[in-house]
Amino acid sequence: MAKKDKDLVEKDEELEENAKAGKNGKAAKDAKNAKAENVEKKSPKNDKKADKNKKPNIFVRMGRKLKETFSELKRVTWPSLPKALKATGVVLVIVLIFTVLVTVVNYGFGELLSLLTGLGG
């Protein structure tokens, strides 16, 4: 190893010892950050391999997505039929109320416009 790498390893070990000794929370964070920096510095050879294999083809990605979707659907807790019907009824009633409300407001604005323009009968 080069001298720089040895210094980094020694620094990592020192920070880990401080973190284990419980001197402070900052030492633990420093140890993690130093390790991450060392990993990044030691892997320029792996970067070329990572670039080649970074994104699989479209069919592999679609297959993974379908697999994840079905896996997620297995964990879903589906409502019972009465609960589903009740929720559907609530939605339909709210839609009906808002439809009537918008229709009334539209009719009112239409009458107001006809009064203002004098086009009404």
Task: Report whether pLDDT(116) > 80.
Answer: yes
Cβ atoms of 8 and 38 within 8 Å: the answer is: yes
> What 3-state class would DSSP assign to 23?
coil
pLDDT digits (tens, 9 = 90+) for 29-53: 565 666 666 555 555 555 666 566 6
Per-residue pLDDT band at 56 (split at 50, 70, 90): confident
**On the CB side of 22, how many CA atoms lie within 13 Å of its CA?**
0
Task: Report whether pLDDT(103) > 60.
Answer: yes
> What 3-state class would DSSP assign to 57?
coil
Task: Report whether pLDDT(98) > 70.
Answer: yes
Task: Report whether pLDDT(94) > 90.
Answer: yes
Cβ atoms of 87 and 79 within 8 Å: the answer is: yes
Per-residue pLDDT band at 72 (split at 50, 70, 90): very high
Of 117, 95, 115, the closest CA to residue 107 belongs to 115
Token pair for 116: 């203002």
